[in-house]
Amino acid sequence: MAVSRTQGAIFGTDWTRAELNQLAGLVGGTEDGVTDRNKLAVTYPVTGDEVGDIPLLTQADVEQAVERSRAAVSEWQDISPDERAEIFDRFAALVEQHRDELLDLIQLETGKARQHAVEEFIDVPMTASYYAEKGPELLADEKRAGAVPVISRAEVTYDPVGVVGIISPWNYPFNLSMTDLLPALMAGNGVVLKPDEKTPFVALRLVELLIEAGVPEDVCIVVTGDGPVVGSALVDAVDYITFTGSSETGRIVAEQAGRNLIDCSMELGGKNPMVVLDDADIDLAARGAVHGCFTNAGQLCLSMERIYAREDIFEEFLESFVAETEQLTLGGDFDYTADIGSLIDEGQLERVANHVEDARERGATVHTGGRKRPDIGPLFYEPTILTDVPDDSLPACEETFGPVVRVEPVSSTGDAIEAANDTDYGLNASVWTADRSRGHEIARQIESGTVCVNDAYAIGWAAVDAPMGGVGDSGIGRRHGPEGLKRYVEPKTIASSALGPMNAPPAVPDSLFARGMIRSTQLLRKLKKSARNLSVTLVRNN
């Protein structure tokens, strides 16, 4: 779709309903027939008004989309990784070229503040550029040690898994779809992407830009509809599944993938801790907490929901944190006037309100926030800081996924680490200290897939060369870095011998050959050990 700016723009954007519904025409790939399906309305969270609609696909529609991708992917695989890298560079440039319209679309679907839309936006060209640079090298054949030196050799090649299914969430529909989709494409796979039904249009526009950049049509297809129908059908049809969402749904997806004997990767829930040590810069930590707790109105898998501050600086930190939080402004304008945007829907609003009310009724103290703000919009909730939160209350036991955080004092660093690890989740954590070496040492003791020192989450997420993912109930597998691409390939070992089969030659008795093989392997093992010891000695002496 060539976006044309016309009359009838929606709210503060240049997008029109006709243009959004034109994007919906891309659902299901190039084959006609899905536009006549039942429709699901997409609303703007800030006002609750309908902005467009998408087709509700059936199981058969999803199966056909996967088969179209499977048929089209051979053309994509004929394009070398170096040529795919050039396409990725063009895609990154197109994303940047269409920045303002894409930022508007992110806000229109999610209701988030402009600055948080920008944070989501910049990840996509960064990820595209990273895999353009690293992808060809990661996919190149590798020589490995053969079974027997000189007379044998081994080589590893990397084949695409086939068609990858990606189920992306509503909270970061722009970057969380592309962060998983781009390495799958670079590896030579077809992709069928199911965005959340609340946020389909950014995914459709990005796939359109990928095609404009040079990805063949139908290699990457978007399917839309109800999660239990479309998501389940996708898991049954593809060769690999990537899912981002709740731990509860992740278990269902993983079980279904297991029955189909396909691999999967998942980023799931989190109850992320922030540890503020006694030597931390208090004002810096308070500003970091505001960013870590209230970005995207707290609807961020990596956000902080628990803060543990050393008791000797607890009051000072709490005072500074509350003061910083009370300066935040709420709003839904398509500019930079508001700090915090809307929640996504009524169910999320009620979850946040219920968590705060449950804590309050059980004796928690609300230092700031704790109120719905219907005067601003139907789904706004104030950033909220709690203390004295009972361990059996909802915000202590469950992921809130909203602008709510509990702050508690701890008597020692060891207690802080113990409290941080007192959870079934392990997605992200944050440590604040003036001594980065101390911070790194504490980070090693926190059970989490990512730990950021003197930052809440952004410094870890933006390190696209490093893997990101969770442990425990926070998921399996990793995105970003080499690991983010290698999950989408099947390693193949090709081994060869210069002397034929590794068994006794016709004139050599089996017993003699067996003794010779045993002695040869013993000698080889001793030689490798001696070489290893020599290497260690040289390193120590230098």
338 and 354, same domain (yes or no): yes
Pick the catalytic residue from 109, 119, 120, 267. 267
Span 37-53, average pLDDT:
95
> Which one of 265, 285, 320 terminates a domain?
265
Element (H, E) at 231: none
Same domain, 426 and 334: yes
The two tokens of residue 157 are 């090649």
85 SS3 class: helix
Separation between Cα atoms, residue 144 and residue 155, nearest integer Å: 6
pLDDT in tens, 245-285: 999 999 999 999 999 999 999 999 999 999 999 999 999 99
Going by pLDDT thresholds of 50, 70 and 90, the confidence category of residue 33 is low
3-state SS class at 157: strand
Answer yes or no: is pLDDT of 226 > 70.
yes
155 within a domain of the structure (yes/no): yes
CB atoms within 10 A of CB 6: 11
Q: At 32, is the pLDDT very low, low, confident or very high (cuts 50, 70, 90)?
A: low
Listed residue (359, 272, 356, 367) closest to 315, CA to CA: 367
Confirm whether 492 is domain-assigned: no
Query: Do both 128 and 248 map to the same domain?
Result: yes
For the chain, the domain total comes to 3
Asked whether residue 210 falls in the same domain as residue 350, the answer is: no
User: Are 340 and 235 in a shared domain?
Assistant: no
Tell me if 358 is assigned to some domain: yes
> Do 230 and 91 share a structural domain?
yes
Mean pLDDT (whole number) for 4-31? 81
Would you state the pLDDT for residue 2?
Answer: 34
Residue 335 in any domain: the answer is yes
Known active-site residue 267 = yes
Residue 4 has pLDDT above 60, yes or no: no
Of 31-40, 187-196, 205-214, give the lowest mean pLDDT range: 31-40
What lies within 8 Å, CB to CB, of 476 at 6+ separation is: 254, 264, 265, 266, 469, 470
Do both 376 and 258 map to the same domain?
no
Q: Are residues 244 and 278 in the same domain?
A: no
Per-residue pLDDT, averaged over 387-392, amounts to 96
**CB proximity list for 230: less than 8 A, separation 6 or greater:** 57, 59, 62, 194, 223, 224
Q: What is the pLDDT of residues 437-489, one digit of tens each?
A: 999 999 999 999 999 999 999 999 999 999 999 999 999 999 999 999 999 99
pLDDT of the residue at 158: 98
Kindly state whether residues 288 and 247 are assigned to the same domain: no
Q: Tell me what percent of the residues of the chain surpass a pLDDT of 70.
A: 98
382/3 Cα distance (integer angstroms): 36
The distance between the two most distant Cα atoms of the chain, rounded to a whole number of Å, is 94
Q: Is 283 exposed, middle or buried (0-12, 13-18, 19+ CB in 10 A)?
A: middle
Distance CA 404, CA 449 (A): 22
Q: Are 349 and 311 in contact (CB under 8 A)?
A: no
Identify the CATH number of the domain in which residue 375 sits.
3.40.309.10
| Domain interval for residue 515 | 504-534
pLDDT the model gives residue 31: 64
126-147 average pLDDT score = 96
Residues 441 and 530 in one domain: no
Catalytic-role residue among 264, 293, 301, 452: 301
Please answer whether residues 10 and 17 qualify as being in contact, where contact means their C-beta atoms are separated by less than 8 angstroms. yes
User: Is 397 among the catalytic positions?
Assistant: no
